[in-house]
Amino acid sequence: MKRSFALTSLLLSVGMISTAAQSAEDVAADCVTGLNEIGLISLNSIAGSAQDVEKVIALKADEQGASYYRIIKMQENYHADSWRAQAILYA
């Protein structure tokens, strides 16, 4: 039993198996041809860095069942570390 658990832990740590569903991926504008647009995400007053905002968008896309998302607007608000963003979701 311990040996099986140790092997599973090892495989998880090196990324050979996953317990989570596939995450939505950022996609470039020139790559969306043929994808179905399924929604739009609008975020306001997101604290942190631009990378933090991208992570929030990816999580929201996952929650809505998107396979891909394309960020169409990301703007820092007047207050430092506060962002607005919009992204289109695709299936």
| CB burial of residue 41 (10 Å; 0-12, 13-18, 19+) | buried
Is the pTM higher than 0.95? The answer reads: no
For residue range 32-47, what is the model confidence (pLDDT) as tens digits? Answer: 999 999 999 999 999 9
pLDDT for position 16: 44
Q: What is the pLDDT of residues 15-37, one digit of tens each?
A: 444 445 568 999 998 899 999 99
**Domains present along the chain, CATH in parentheses:** 22-90 (3.30.1660.10)
